[in-house]
Every structure is written in structure tokens, then in C-alpha cells.
Amino acid sequence: MTELLLAATSLDVTPPPGHRLDGYSARAGVATGTADPLCATLIWLSSFDDPGVLWLTLDSIAVSSALSRELAEAAGAAAGIPPSHVVVSASHTHSGPAGWTGEIHPVIPAEQERSLVDSLICAIRGAELQRQPVTASWRSVEVIGVGTNRHRRNGPHDNTAGILALHSLSGSLEAVLLDFACHPTTYGPDNLRYSADWPGAARAALAPAVVGFLQGAAGDVSPRFTRQGRGPAEVTRLGGLLASRVREALATPGLELPQSPPAIRRTTLTLPVRNIPPAEDSEKLATAVEQVVTAAEHAATASGPTTTAHAAVDDPSGRISQTRLDGARGQALMAAATLPPALDLPVSAVTMGDVCWINLPVELFAVHGACLQSDSTHPITRVIGYTDGYYGYVVDPSAAEAGTYEALITFFDQPTTNQLLTQTATFVNQ
């Protein structure tokens, strides 16, 4: 009989202060310290004769394809398995270092800092992965109050958390592979401290179990309408809310999964890059949107001493206008950049019993995640983004028509988006 084996560990990989943070084009300055640790978490499920799958989850804005390959090689070396059996996923926190990945998009220019990468690689390569027999079970639970669609509160959003629970043979919870879809953007551009944001707070609340966090189809999902502040207390509140729902689910019987290790299949999808409008068109749009933002700031300032221009920009409607301005400026940067005619997107499917995780290197909108789940022949399908690379947003038709921030800076047009979804579904169902 096959024995399912688990090795799991979470490593503190927080860089020292003095390095640039990633996630916001409006952020100025470098990291001054640490609000909470950034972690690289390894969860490896295997057997004595099957390498299985090792999930490496990192508190980072993204992982480029090049960085993913290095991390997979390091984790594979630590486990003694081929790097093709390692899945590398970013949590998408907007309070991690830019130096790990470097420039992932013309909107936020950055340079990879080799010293930071080498330190990260060294930590992962040196991870101690002691395996023990475990049982695996599956649960999902609805989570209300962490995130919503960030363009309209009642817009599309998968508000379920997927929970792969791994218990020792004595019954103790050893590790959890948790997926949920929502931008980790509790902290704003004013923050200059490293933070895993609410996924880190959820991970801490579920200790001592090792928790690997997978970010879902969160391209248009964030705490914009749910957050009650932008500091550490709110990070703890949102993370605690998610963790409490996970604990409630873990207290109920789950779907028992096979004792055999998960399997992984991979493919590469080559997709054309859209024709970017001339820079002058984007600059005209930026000027028009900037006038709207400036008018809102002036109105807020004139309304009384308790209202500030900053507060006006940071409320939901203000953030939508501000991000559209960022998008117009970003599209102008894309027009000035030398973009390739096509991009190669690594896509993978991990299966374990009835559960399938579809892994893509993009920020899918919620409606696209729902489409992939609906088209999947697997009884339980979870859609994971920000994995094994990063190629920006994949937007829905309504966002493209409205000219949202994400639509302005995407690499892909709607026919290409349809191609991505169709080819991914075909691959997963093979």
C-alpha cells in the first residue's frame, strides 16, 4: 500500500531594510523595517517511490519565469526531486521586495538585486525536509468580509477558500495548503515596511500548522470595499477572519483524499501581445483622468477640516479613479517599451483525487476563474494565479470596455484572453 508522505516547513526570508518595495507605482522610498515576516513555505507530498509535488509559496508581488526556475531548482535540490515537480507561487503581497523579481511590467520599473536572490535561494536550498506519513483531506468554506470585486462591491468574486488539510497518523494538523482570491493590499503605498499582509496574518493565526498560501483569480478582487484601515491592526483583522473560517471548516469532516501523491502535468501556451495604443493617446487619457482626480481632491479639501485629499483618493471611488490614472500612465510606458510579439505562458495542472489545481502565471479576473472551474471535468477545481511566472492581468470584456486600470496595462486583448481560457481548459481536461 502506498504511504503518503509530507515534509513541510516555513522559512523567514525577510530581507534587511534599505531595499525597494514592490506593488505600487506611487510608493517612494525604500524599506525601513519589517511589520511582519516574509516567508517561503515548502509543502511536499510524495511517497517512497514517487516524487509527487512540492509547493513553494513565497510572500512576493510575483515570481518571474527566471526566478521561478531558480527557486524550483533550489527546492528540488533540498527535496532530492526534479525541479519539474516543484510549483512556485507568489502570494502577491504589495509589501515585498522588488529586488527578488526585478521588473515584471513596464508600469513599475525595477532591477533584480542578485544579493537578495542569492540569499533567498540559499535559504530554500538549505531547507530541512523531513518526511512523515500523513492523511489528506479536502474542504472548502465561504469567507465573507475579506475581499470583494474591487470595481463594484457585488461584482464577480469566488469567496470560497480551498483547504487541503494534512494530518499526522496520530491526528495532529501538520500542514494546510490554503487558497483564496483577494489582493493582499491592506497596506497602501505609504507603507515602507515588509509585510505578508493578511495572508501572513492568517498563516500566523493557524500556527503551529505549516500554511502554504496560494493566490486565486484575484485580478479584480481586493479589500477595497472591506478594509477598515490600512495598518497592522487591519492586517490582523482580515487575516484572522480568514483563519477563523478555516478553523471552522477543519472542525468538520472533510473529503478524504487518496493516499497516493499528487501528480503534475505541464504545458506552454504561446499568446500574442496586443497592439498598444500610441503613447500620445494614453497621455491624453491620463490628462483627462487626472483632472477628475484633482477635482475630487479639491472638493474633499473644501468640504471641511475632517476630510483630506488623501482620504478622498483612498476611498473606493477615489481609488478607482486614481488607479485608472495609473493605468493610463502605465499604458504610455508600455507604448514606449519594446514588447515582444508573443509571450510563452507556463501552465500546469496538479491533481490529487477529485481535486485539481490549475496554475497560471497571470492575474485572472474572477469571471475567468469561474469559467475555468465550470469547464473543468474534475469534481473540484481551484484556479491559482501568480505561479511559475508573471504576465500581468487578464481582464473581462466589461473591464476592457470601461478602460479600467487593469485593462489599460494588460498584455492581452479579448481574443487572446479567449484563446488562453480555451487552451487551458483543453489541457486540463486531457
Which range (162-171, 219-228, 269-278, 280-289) has the least confidence? 280-289
State how far the alpha carbon of 92 is from the alpha carbons of 30, 126, 358, in Å.
18, 24, 17
Residue 306, pLDDT score: 56
C-alpha to C-alpha distances, 42 to 13, 79, 119, 362, 403, nearest whole angstrom = 12, 10, 16, 21, 39
pLDDT at residue 302, as a whole number? 61
* 71-75, 244-248, 286-290: least confident range: 286-290
Residue 400 CB neighbour total at 10 angstroms: 17
What's the pLDDT at 83?
A: 98
- Note the pLDDT tens digit of each residue in 19-53: 999 999 889 999 999 999 999 999 999 999 999 99
What is the model's pLDDT at position 397? 94
The pLDDT > 90 percentage for the chain reads 82
The answer to whether the beta carbons of residues 123 and 13 sit under 8 Å apart is: yes
Query: Is the pLDDT reported for residue 209 higher than 80?
Result: yes
How do 393-394 and 363-364 pair as beta strands? parallel
Distance CA 101, CA 104 (A): 7
Q: How confident is the model at residue 317 (pLDDT cuts 50, 70, 90)?
A: low
pLDDT band at 169 (very low <50, low <70, confident <90, very high): very high
Residue 174 has pLDDT above 70, yes or no: yes
Please give the Cα distance from 137 to 42 (Å, whole number).
Answer: 18
257 DSSP assignment: P
**What is the pairing mode between strands 5-12 and 132-142?**
antiparallel
Where in the chain are the domains?
5-256, 279-336
Q: How far apart are CA 229 and CA 408, in angstroms?
A: 28
DSSP label at 49? T
Could you report the per-residue pLDDT of 261-316, keeping only the tens digit for each? 999 999 999 999 999 988 787 778 778 777 666 666 556 566 555 555 455 446 66
Give the amino acid at 249: A
pLDDT of residue 297: 58
CB within 8 A of 258, min separation 6: which ones? 4, 136, 352, 353
pTM of the predicted structure, to 2 decimals: 0.93
